[in-house]
A and B are shown apart, each in its own frame.
Chain A
């Protein structure tokens, strides 16, 4: 039985508003750095990052905001950060008073009155994971799974109880839901293929992904315009927009880098390398994929099982069973953690954690950055 090892958080990517993210040098961090939060760091169990600020929740129920919004508050069990709205789940005043869902303007520093508040019944008390590991958290899915919050009107949307939602994630214009049986549903706009039903049509109501029926999923994650899910057996399925390689499929824009760099004439790159073409398995040229409208099975290195996934606007991060972190997609702000700002259309392991002998246990992506929870590898 593994003893509980205290882990810690790391961050990399965009921090242009001074949000806590490693050392915060400059406006971006290109390689993982230990998180320096105001106050106690070792206790952070939940990280929810919006574009200009990040919300940290500790096991002790303390909420810290860092970035364009900064404040601290107590009595919080969960938080969900967006530019328009900060949603927190707070213990109600007094014993046995149940939990209250509050929505605040991020700049309000949680003082005064929330924009709206909603009491959540006591049956909706959640449990923490065994071992005290950070949970993905339930928000934006509300405890009780009868409704979810969103940053746009209507802020509070009911869910049909027969959906038996376990997890819900929101993209820029779509939603993903994972139910108790491991079935994935999607709805919203479909123009970028992010719904996964094989068309570009919108869906008003949650619709199950037929292509995935029969494969129980353990996790779902929504990026700006792409969707990821992880099966119980460790496979990754991915679909939606691939404009920056966030699907780990050949992306035309990445292949053209070097041809269209600002101010340069077209021609071979300075180092003499050719523009990359996509090679198919048979050695022929595979086509570039801009939009993948139904789920594709992703190839990680052989023997790698995925256990967790999280997506930023245009990048993807995956944690494996053996504690490695793989990232790919848009990398302009260092959010892939590979010490540079290149975008990638294939998965690459974040070597920092391997080099430091750290086992990654959880990942939480903001739109343009990535937060990682890792523990030191056991000796022997």
Chain B
């Protein structure tokens, strides 16, 4: 097992070689006192005063955290997120400087992940590299103890309540096409804004064969991710929290979960580039206006029963199914009135109606609104046109990957 010495060397090798380069170019938004504290923290770090550097890093983190929580997220100045990431970098490295024991490394990795989740890229995306080094230096116990690990997830199904599989034969289904040409897809689906299931496009992606619970835990088990707890995000008891992938799997997938937990809408593939190699960006995305870097790729990983309430998104969406099946219902933007969107700013893109159990007294027009539905299976990609209302329920343990593009 690698000792503390090699870990320290590996981390130092990632840092800029000089004190002057261990710095951020910051604009006017970041106050002078913060710039001064950043410089002081670097001085302490380079001077080998780890404990004091940790103290200064904590203050940097706490102060920038407050800025990250002021105003709407999209208005948070990128420099504050960079300051936060810088604080995470110093803290993570300082935590490992003294000892390389598993506890310190796991703590440092958690800090790195916070920097990746809430911060912005600094020093050539250094936090991703530091995270990879830390992960490699964790002892082999990065997975939970063996035993039930070999068990197939499907065996758990017997303990769950009987899952309702909708009878989609009685509903209008989403059309399916096998590898349409770019032109055909553009002319018949993208431009007119019509949903379609694409077959034969994703079915050979490595993820289709590789992604088991075991593999996910191997590659990402000790990484911190955001998890949504609660039946649906429109519920009062719904909340978001952070935990490692191992904790998520053991609490919300394996051990007879009490609540529904959903690793939803998370850019996991930016955080863990190794997983990105198992997926591809559908060629059809090139039909849009944006660059490839602007495509947002999200992971959706959760047990049977997760629900995304009926809502619409401001971009085109390819939803690729990797593991398990999802029941999906689609309503055209033209039907918006019959879907009774919330009138608050926060939820104006979400319908008030519970799709599979609608209150038709309260929402009478909903009954007549036409829709398309499908059961999306592994290897298939569903095209959800921009602003198209969609409702999703997982029928099995499920892993999906979505691509938001314009």
Residue in contact with A14 in the complex, picked from B59, B107, B345, CB distance below 8 Å: B59
Question: Do the beta carbons of A200 and B37 come within 8 Å of each other?
Answer: no
CB neighbours of A202 from chain B (8 A): 345
- Indicate with 1 or 0, residue by residue over A15-41, a CB within 8 angstroms of chain B CB atoms: 011000000000100000000000000
Question: Do the beta carbons of A83 and B103 come within 8 Å of each other?
Answer: no
Query: How far apart sit A106 and B34, CA to CA, in the bound complex (Å)?
Result: 13
Query: How far apart sit A58 and B82, CA to CA, in the bound complex (Å)?
Result: 40
- Indicate with 1 or 0, residue by residue over A221-265, a CB within 8 angstroms of chain B CB atoms: 000110000000000000000000000000000000000001110
Question: Do the beta carbons of B69 and A225 come within 8 Å of each other?
Answer: yes
The minimal Cβ–Cβ distance linking A34 to chain B, given in whole angstroms, is: 24
With A173-B70, A224-B66 as known contacts, state yes or no: A263 contacts B37, CB within 8 Å: no
CB neighbours of A53 from chain B (8 A): 33
B150: Cβ under 8 A from any A Cβ: no
The minimal Cβ–Cβ distance linking B317 to chain A, given in whole angstroms, is: 26
Q: How many residues of A contact B (CB 8 A)?
A: 30
Question: Do the beta carbons of A16 and B31 come within 8 Å of each other?
Answer: no
Question: Do the beta carbons of B69 and A51 come within 8 Å of each other?
Answer: no
Question: Do the beta carbons of A262 and B107 come within 8 Å of each other?
Answer: yes
Query: How far apart sit A51 and B31, CA to CA, in the bound complex (Å)?
Result: 11
Question: Do the beta carbons of A17 and B104 come within 8 Å of each other?
Answer: no
For the residues of B in contact with A, the DSSP-based class is helix
Residue of B69, B345, B346 with most chain A CB atoms under a 10 A cut-off: B69
Query: How far apart sit A377 and B391, CA to CA, in the bound complex (Å)?
Result: 67
B234: Cβ under 8 A from any A Cβ: no
- Indicate with 1 or 0, residue by residue over B13-54, a CB within 8 angstroms of chain A CB atoms: 000000000000000000111001100000000000000000
CB neighbours of B70 from chain A (8 A): 172-173, 224
CB neighbours of A107 from chain B (8 A): 32
A84: Cβ under 8 A from any B Cβ: yes
Query: How far apart sit A199 and B55, CA to CA, in the bound complex (Å)?
Result: 37
Question: Do the beta carbons of B71 and A189 come within 8 Å of each other?
Answer: yes
Question: Do the beta carbons of A263 and B55 come within 8 Å of each other?
Answer: no
With A84-B31, A201-B344 as known contacts, state yes or no: A290 contacts B59, CB within 8 Å: no
Question: Do the beta carbons of A68 and B344 come within 8 Å of each other?
Answer: no
A313: Cβ under 8 A from any B Cβ: yes
Question: Do the beta carbons of B63 and A51 come within 8 Å of each other?
Answer: yes
Question: Do the beta carbons of B239 and A83 come within 8 Å of each other?
Answer: no
- Indicate with 1 or 0, residue by residue over A182-210, a CB within 8 angstroms of chain B CB atoms: 00000001010000000111100000000
CB neighbours of B95 from chain A (8 A): 262
CB neighbours of A172 from chain B (8 A): 66, 69-70
Q: How many residues of B contact A (CB 8 A)?
A: 25
Question: Do the beta carbons of A262 and B110 come within 8 Å of each other?
Answer: yes
8 A Cβ contacts from B274-299 to A: none
The minimal Cβ–Cβ distance linking B209 to chain A, given in whole angstroms, is: 33
B85: Cβ under 8 A from any A Cβ: no
CB neighbours of A320 from chain B (8 A): none
Residue of B33, B106, B110 with most chain A CB atoms under a 10 A cut-off: B33
Chain A residue with the shortest CB-CB distance to B236: A287
With A16-B56, A201-B345 as known contacts, state yes or no: A173 contacts B239, CB within 8 Å: no
The minimal Cβ–Cβ distance linking B45 to chain A, given in whole angstroms, is: 16
CB neighbours of A359 from chain B (8 A): none
Question: Do the beta carbons of A290 and B33 come within 8 Å of each other?
Answer: no
Question: Do the beta carbons of A199 and B344 come within 8 Å of each other?
Answer: yes
A52: Cβ under 8 A from any B Cβ: yes
CB neighbours of A262 from chain B (8 A): 95, 103, 107, 110
8 A Cβ contacts from B59-87 to A: 59, 62-63, 66, 69-72
8 A Cβ contacts from B365-396 to A: none
Residue in contact with A290 in the complex, picked from B32, B62, B104, B239, CB distance below 8 Å: B239
CB neighbours of A16 from chain B (8 A): 37, 55-56, 59
- Indicate with 1 or 0, residue by residue over A294-305, a CB within 8 angstroms of chain B CB atoms: 000000000000
The minimal Cβ–Cβ distance linking A31 to chain B, given in whole angstroms, is: 18
Chain B residue with the shortest CB-CB distance to A288: B239
A59: Cβ under 8 A from any B Cβ: no
CB neighbours of A84 from chain B (8 A): 31
Question: Do the beta carbons of A68 and B345 come within 8 Å of each other?
Answer: no
CB neighbours of B69 from chain A (8 A): 172, 225
CB neighbours of A52 from chain B (8 A): 31, 33, 37
8 A Cβ contacts from B82-100 to A: 95
Query: How far apart sit A367 and B69, CA to CA, in the bound complex (Å)?
Result: 15
Question: Do the beta carbons of B103 and A263 come within 8 Å of each other?
Answer: yes
Chain A residue with the shortest CB-CB distance to B60: A16
Question: Do the beta carbons of B55 and A27 come within 8 Å of each other?
Answer: yes
Chain B residue with the shortest CB-CB distance to A225: B69
Chain B residue with the shortest CB-CB distance to A67: B33
CB neighbours of A191 from chain B (8 A): 72
A332: Cβ under 8 A from any B Cβ: yes
Query: How far apart sit A225 and B70, CA to CA, in the bound complex (Å)?
Result: 9
8 A Cβ contacts from A276-323 to B: 290, 313
CB neighbours of B66 from chain A (8 A): 172, 224, 313, 367
CB neighbours of B107 from chain A (8 A): 262-263
Q: A52-B33, A173-B70 are in contact. List 5 more A-B contacts (CB 8 A).
A: A51-B33, A84-B31, A172-B69, A201-B345, A262-B103
Instruction: List chain A positions with a Cβ less than 8 A from chain B.
Output: 14, 16-17, 27, 51-53, 68, 83-84, 106-107, 172-173, 189, 191, 199-202, 224-225, 262-264, 290, 313, 332, 367-368
22 A/B residue pairs, CB under 8 Å, sorted by A:
A16-B37, A17-B33, A27-B55, A27-B59, A52-B31, A52-B33, A83-B33, A106-B33, A172-B70, A173-B70, A189-B72, A199-B344, A201-B345, A202-B345, A224-B66, A224-B70, A262-B95, A263-B103, A263-B106, A263-B107, A367-B66, A368-B62
**10 smallest A-B Cβ distances: which pairs?**
A263-B103, A52-B33, A262-B107, A263-B107, A83-B31, A68-B33, A172-B70, A173-B70, A16-B59, A173-B71
